[in-house]
DNA sequence: GATTTAAGTGAAAACGTTTTCAATTTGCTG
DNA sequence: CAGCAAATTGAAAACGTTTTCACTTAAATC
């Protein structure tokens, strides 16, 4: 407990300079005579002095730490985003406080507040349902926030995404063009804007363009889990769907395996296209065709954007859309 | 920038008490008259005061933050551990600074030092090669450290694992008993003690018990990636292996898919057993048989152990071994 | 060599808490 | 109602930095 810590004051005394000077050399301030700098550096080395980041944070009001709120790191989609975030954070000398929210609103609010109390310099938020309470909390803080892979209907916050509407529309169109008249839309909670307002919109637009009436029975609102996917086959068959546009890879994998287990051949009897292009798409058999998103980059760009915000640099566009694509694998014809 | 923050002093003035009293009510200290407590609480509410955790950390020398060093969150094995850690950390009011090391020694040392400079109250380390420099750094800090899913040959640090030797031995024995005379051992870097000293030992012991001579050609040292796994089929066939004990699920999935793509039937022509029992084992086809490890629990128990260390509570056993098992799925006969 | 300017340095005041210690109140006991 | 212990409170000193401002010193100019 009584660890005798070496402070800046010890260094100052030992090098017979003032704390201010030590602080200057530690922070690479130019206004120090080379000779003094060397002297101080030597003492630092000798005493093995390590600046205390907490004290530094209090004095400078910068913690070089950012908060990252994620639904669940255990989901590859978010894990890959998180990795992108951490890598560029490290690049800019920031660290990340990572917290799992389970997309639970109460937890999100709570964790946001503890992050703010810890004086993080910025926040990256993932999660797509920004309801009243949470939005309020977002609004009252001056700490920069950016959303990663998460939409903001109100267009208030910086964020980086792909064009979900266009991507889904395009792929559903492809499905239709290949002869599928009954394309299911299997998604996570519709309350989440990314599903309910964006992807669903793309789905509807594709139907409309093809002159196919929208049939509510074809949309399946789920919880985005593998398990749920495996149980969906009977329901999908019951509505005569011949293809599905799925919004999550684990969910899609579940559906696909459920189909295979029920002897429904993918893609011959049922086509599946998924949305996140995580590693998983390559690991399952058949490999899943997917909308491609630069997951790592979404995280990386979001973090980069956040550094700009934190340093008061101008940002040209706060709604960043990264390019998407289609990776045709084996779950579509 | 000039965000007018409400400090404890503002609250004290407004409630006409001293800072000390405010501090007491904020920290739930019992020695406050109920009436004063209420008065202070009201002012806190009214002013919307939020304690500054950085100042608090400086004064109390506790940051309620722990550092977590992980090779790569993008690997499900670690993601699941991390999730366990975060959940119990939250339970005990801690937050987690998560950093990816890529098992790179230089990065590990660097990140450890920045975590220490940030005055984390404890550290959870994942990674299995504790070489000179890193070990040195570990030794010189008084900050509690626990290893999660990571062995320590020197038996110095608290850690939570399963009995890798026994688990591997048991499963290799099963493979042999089923008639496999040529069982390959496919692992990550042998430099890492968990592979080179523990699992390999179990493998050798199983061979020995069965009177099968150890053949170096049957051990494949890899980098634990899916991609590498997919390329291994020819080499495995070349040495006439009929089964493989694999140390990582993604790697195993790669091998299995490589086999299937080369028309080698799993498990009829080649049996595979993997080691981590991540979600992935259920998603691939055939589903992979695996040594089961309570991944989430390893993380959770590690964090729980760390809280004890941080609070100077006695710990009965610093080398915690959680139970393992075997989940027979479809990649073994 | 006197004067001006720039470079280098230090003293001390923040930063927003916790914590120690002493002082004051309060509640009991007899 | 004196006397004492217990319960409440406040003043002020940490905690380990950064940062401002004024002061020296060294260099540059004429």
CA distances in angstroms from A249 to A244, A252, A294, B230, listed in the order given: 12, 5, 14, 21
Q: Of all nucleotides in the shown strands, which has a C1' nearest the CA of A31? A: C8
Residue B257 and residue A53: Cβ atoms within 8 Å?
no
CA A147 centroid distance within chain:
7
The answer, for A286 touching chain B at a CB cutoff of 8 Å, is no
Nucleic chain D contacts, protein chain B, residues 58-77, CB cut-off 7 A? 58-59, 61
- What band does A4 get if pLDDT is binned at 50, 70 and 90? low
Residues 187-246 of B with CB under 8 A from A: 226
Domain B65-162+295-324 sits in CATH at 3.40.50.2300
Domain A164-292 sits in CATH at 3.40.50.2300
The answer, for B72 touching chain A at a CB cutoff of 8 Å, is yes
The answer, for A7 touching chain B at a CB cutoff of 8 Å, is no
Q: Which chain A residues contact residue B285 at CB under 8 A?
A: 257, 260, 284-285
Residue B98 and residue A100: Cβ atoms within 8 Å?
no
The answer, for A137 touching chain B at a CB cutoff of 8 Å, is no
The answer, for A142 touching chain B at a CB cutoff of 8 Å, is yes
Residue pair B182/B210 in contact (Cβ under 8 Å)? The answer is: no
The answer, for B99 touching chain A at a CB cutoff of 8 Å, is yes
Give this prediction's pTM. Answer: 0.92
Q: For strand A325-327 and strand A289-292, is the pairing parallel, antiparallel, or unpaired?
A: antiparallel
Highest CATH level, class, for B8-51 = mainly alpha
CA distances in angstroms from B278 to A102, B79, B80, B327, listed in the order given: 19, 10, 8, 11
- Laid out side by side, the sheet with A325-327 consists of A219-221, A183-187, A243-246, A271-274, A289-292, A325-327
Q: What percent of chain B has pLDDT over 90?
A: 90
Task: In whole angstroms, give the CA distance from residue B63 to residue B155.
Answer: 28
Residue A223's CB is within 10 A of a number of other CB atoms, namely 12
Task: In whole angstroms, give the CA distance from residue B97 to residue B114.
Answer: 11
Weakly modelled stretches of chain B, pLDDT under 70: 1-4
Is the CB of residue A26 inside 7 Å of nucleic acid strand D? yes
Q: Which chain B residues contact residue A50 at CB under 8 A?
A: 113, 116-117
DSSP tally for chain A: helices H, then strands E? 15, 12
Residue pair B191/B129 in contact (Cβ under 8 Å)? The answer is: yes
Residues 238-277 of B with CB under 8 A from A: 250, 253-254, 257, 260
CA distances in angstroms from B204 to A257, B101, B183, B323, listed in the order given: 37, 30, 11, 22
pLDDT of the residue at A29: 83
Residue pLDDT, tens place only, B133-172? 899 999 999 999 999 999 998 899 999 999 999 999 999 9
pLDDT of the residue at B131: 82
The helix, strand and coil proportions of chain B, stated in percent and rounded to the nearest 5, come to 45, 15, 40
Q: For strand B289-292 and strand B325-327, is the pairing parallel, antiparallel, or unpaired?
A: antiparallel
Residue A86 and residue B76: Cβ atoms within 8 Å?
no
Is the CB of residue B16 inside 7 Å of nucleic acid strand D? yes
Q: Give residues lining strand C (CB < 7 Å).
A: A 16-21, 24, 30-36, 55, 58-59, 61; B 5, 7-9, 19-20, 23-24, 26-27, 49-52, 55-56, 58-60
Residue A11 zone, left/alpha/beta (φ > 0; ψ -120 to 50; rest): alpha
- What band does A131 get if pLDDT is binned at 50, 70 and 90? confident
pLDDT of the residue at B76: 87
Determine the residue of chain A that is closest to B107 in CA distance: A90
Residue A32 above 60 pLDDT? yes
Contacts of A140 (CB under 8 A, 6+ apart): none
pLDDT of the residue at B4: 62
Task: In whole angstroms, give the CA distance from residue B286 to residue B171.
Answer: 18
Residue B285 and residue A283: Cβ atoms within 8 Å?
no
Domain ranges of chain A: 8-51, 65-162+295-324, 164-292
Residue B27 CB burial class (10 angstroms; 0-12, 13-18, ≥19): exposed
Residue B238's CB is within 10 A of a number of other CB atoms, namely 9
pLDDT of the residue at A139: 92
Residue pair A81/A149 in contact (Cβ under 8 Å)? The answer is: yes
Q: Is the CA virtual torsion A64, A69, A72, A78 positive or negative?
A: negative
Q: Which chain B residues contact residue A51 at CB under 8 A?
A: 117
B65-162+295-324 shares its CATH topology with B164-292? yes
Structure-token pair, residue B268: 């009829």
| DSSP assigned state of B270 | -
Strand partners, A145: A123
Residue A3 above 60 pLDDT? no
In three-state secondary structure terms, B291 is strand
Strand partners, B98: B68
Angle between helices A76-91 and B76-91 (to 10 degrees): 80
Task: In whole angstroms, give the CA distance from residue B321 to residue B135.
Answer: 22
Question: Which of B94, B93, B131, B91 minimizes the C-alpha distance to B112?
Answer: B131
Looking at the partner chain, which of A74, A79, A253 has a beta carbon nearest the beta carbon of B283?
A253
3-state SS string over A260-305? HHCCCCCCCCCEEEECCCCCHHHHCCCCCEEEECCHHHHHHHHHHH
Residue with minimal CA–C1' distance to D26 is: A33
Strand partners, B326: B291
Residue pLDDT, tens place only, A180-222? 999 999 999 999 999 999 999 999 999 999 999 999 999 999 9
DSSP per-residue codes, A13-67: HHTTS-HHHHHHHHTT-S-S-HHHHHHHHHHHHHHT----HHHHHHHHS--SEEE
Q: Which chain B residues contact residue A53 at CB under 8 A?
A: 114, 117-119
Q: Which chain B residues contact residue A55 at CB under 8 A?
A: 58
Determine the residue of chain A that is closest to B73 in CA distance: A79
Residue pLDDT, tens place only, A285-319? 999 999 999 999 999 999 999 999 999 999 989 99
Task: In whole angstroms, give the CA distance from residue A11 to residue A4.
Answer: 14
CA A248 centroid distance within chain:
14
Structure-token pair, residue B309: 């260390």
Residue with minimal CA–C1' distance to C25 is: B33
Q: What percent of chain A has pLDDT over 90?
A: 90
Contacts of A165 (CB under 8 A, 6+ apart): A198, A199, A201, A202, A205
Give chain A's mean pLDDT: 94
Task: In whole angstroms, give the CA distance from residue B196 to residue B247.
Answer: 11
């Amino acid at each position: 407990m009584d660890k005798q810590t070496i402070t800046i004051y010890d260094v100052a005394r030992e090098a017979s300079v003032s704390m201010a000077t030590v602080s200057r050399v530690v922070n690479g301030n130019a206004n120090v005579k080379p000779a003094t700098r060397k002297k101080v550096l030597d003492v630092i080395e000798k005493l093995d002095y390590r600046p205390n980041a907490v004290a530094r944070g209090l004095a400078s009001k910068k913690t070089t730490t950012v908060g990252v709120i994620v639904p669940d790191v255990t989901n590859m989609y978010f894990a890959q985003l998180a990795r992108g975030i951490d890598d560029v954070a490290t690049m800019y000398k920031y660290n990340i406080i990572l917290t799992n929210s389970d997309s639970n609103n109460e937890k999100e609010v709570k964790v946001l507040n503890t992050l703010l109390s810890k004086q993080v310099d910025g926040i990256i938020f993932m999660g797509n349902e920004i309801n009243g309470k949470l939005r309020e909390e977002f609004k009252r803080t001056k700490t920069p926030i950016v959303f990663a892979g998460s939409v903001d209907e109100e267009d208030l916050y910086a964020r980086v995404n792909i064009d979900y509407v266009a991507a889904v529309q395009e792929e559903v169109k492809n499905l239709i063009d290949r002869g599928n008249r009954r394309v299911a839309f299997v998604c996570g909670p519709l309350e989440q804007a990314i599903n309910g307002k964006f992807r669903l919109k793309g789905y509807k637009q594709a139907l409309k363009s093809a002159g196919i009436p929208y049939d509510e029975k074809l949309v399946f609102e789920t919880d985005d889990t593998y398990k749920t996917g495996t149980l969906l086959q009977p329901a999908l068959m019951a509505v005569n769907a011949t293809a599905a546009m799925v919004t999550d890879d684990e969910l899609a994998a579940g559906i696909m395996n459920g189909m295979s287990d029920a002897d429904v051949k993918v893609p011959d009897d049922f086509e599946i296209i998924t949305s996140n292009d995580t590693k998983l798409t390559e690991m399952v058999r058949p490999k899943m065709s997917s909308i491609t998103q630069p997951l790592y980059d979404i995280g990386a760009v979001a973090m980069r954007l956040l550094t700009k915000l934190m340093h008061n640099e101008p940002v040209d566009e706060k709604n960043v859309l990264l390019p998407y694509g289609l990776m045709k694998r084996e779950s579509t014809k």
